Amino acid sequence: MTNSIPQPGLTSDRTLTNARVLRGQEYFVADTDETGLGAVDAVPEAGTPTSQWSEAWHYLRRRPLFWISAVLIVLAIAIALFPGLFTSTDPRECMLSRSLNGPEDGHIFGFDRQGCDIYSRMIYGARASVTVGVLTTLIVTVLGGLVGAIAGYFGGIWDTLLSRLTDIFFAVPLVLAAIVVMSMFQDRRSIWMVVFALSMFGWTQIARITRGAVMGIKNDEFVTAARAVGASDWKIITSHILPNAAAPVIVYATVALGQFIVAEATLSFLGIGLPSTVVSWGGDISAAQASLRTEPMVLFYPAIALALTVLSFIMMGDVVRDALDPKARKR
């Protein structure tokens, strides 16, 4: 008995939906899917579109690392702005009779070699370090963002000149350049002079990041539409391109703030940063070197304050990078 093979056009529905054997091979036909393409591709009308920043906030608020770094940053800023809320002792009130004395009532960390209260100096030292870090970050972000935006948007001769200028400044190490600048103005050392020295050579990386981000955005549809309706170049850069290119700049600026705090402490440690009349962590760490073998805790307290502050900004930069860059999360 031979199996008959259905002829084209004569195949019944029952024959298609059942399994049959043809030359030793089984063929199965799936049931018809009644769901139309319109229902599959439909987008819920009730759902509201979310922006990159709202998605980033939704990611950040579920990360313990974000809250830990945020608390440390807020605490550092609060100490820098209102040190009187955390101590009532004058950091410049020093008595040699209390030199290297241990903790006592009202002086929980003891005294340094000059007889100054270590806790009070640690609290007031945050003001200089955080101020230098914040001001330098603001200046380099504005300066580097402006240079990078002009080079990336206009291209041509502007890109060539500004890129070569950026390369020249980028080739000089930041701390070395700051040492040279501060050595030239030994008699004018102040917080503003340190900010100027760090800002003068610290804007190059942000300029390169901004240039790359602008070059990747300037040919998008919304920029073309803005140009078509007659928007000026300055309007396009400030209102359309820079807001959409801000994510990588914010990430780098957050991490760079901690780096600038370390740079200020390094300059003060070397004795060419802030003057001795200004209380700073770098200056206290430098002064504590003489007591390192006998009283290492004198150096430990300002060093741990500096390390926690810098670490908080680095952790914040890492978690913000993950929030603004979905590819980084998968890695």
pLDDT at 39 over 90: no
In a domain, 322, yes or no: yes
Q: How far is CA 6 from CA 3, 14, 32, in A?
A: 9, 12, 20
In a domain, 207, yes or no: yes
In a domain, 79, yes or no: yes
Which of 45-49, 308-312, 322-326 ranks highest by mean pLDDT?
308-312
Find the CATH number of the domain harbouring 168.
1.10.3720.10
How many CB atoms neighbour CB 134 within 10 A?
16
In a domain, 13, yes or no: no
Confidence bin at 33 (pLDDT 50/70/90) = low
Q: For residue range 233-267, what is the model confidence (pLDDT) as tens digits?
A: 888 888 888 888 888 899 899 999 999 999 999 99
Mean pLDDT of 3-10: 48
**pLDDT for 15:** 47
3-state DSSP assignment of residue 217: helix
Question: If phi over 0 gives left and psi between -120 and 50 gives alpha, with beta otherwise, what is residue 43?
Answer: beta
How far apart CA 65 and CA 318 sit, in angstroms, is 9
Q: For residue range 267-320, what is the model confidence (pLDDT) as tens digits?
A: 999 888 888 888 999 989 988 888 888 888 888 999 999 999 999 999 998 898
One-character DSSP codes across 138-149? HHHHHHHHHHHH
Cα-atom radius of gyration of the chain, to the nearest Å?
31
In a domain, 8, yes or no: no
In a domain, 2, yes or no: no
In a domain, 166, yes or no: yes
In a domain, 182, yes or no: yes
Range of the domain at 124: 74-330
In single-letter form, the type of residue at position 269 comes to F
Total of domains in the chain: 1
Displacement of CA 219 from its chain's centroid (Å):
26
**pLDDT for 45:** 55
How far apart CA 300 and CA 109 sit, in angstroms, is 10
Q: How far is CA 96 from CA 88, 93, 116, 179, 325, in A?
A: 20, 10, 8, 32, 55
Residue 121: exposed, middle, or buried by beta-carbon count in 10 A (0-12, 13-18, 19+)?
Answer: buried
Q: Among 5-9, 27-31, 96-100, 178-182, which is the least confidently predicted range? A: 5-9
What angle, 0 to 180 degrees and rounded to 10, lies between the N-to-C axes of helices 156-170 and 118-154? 150
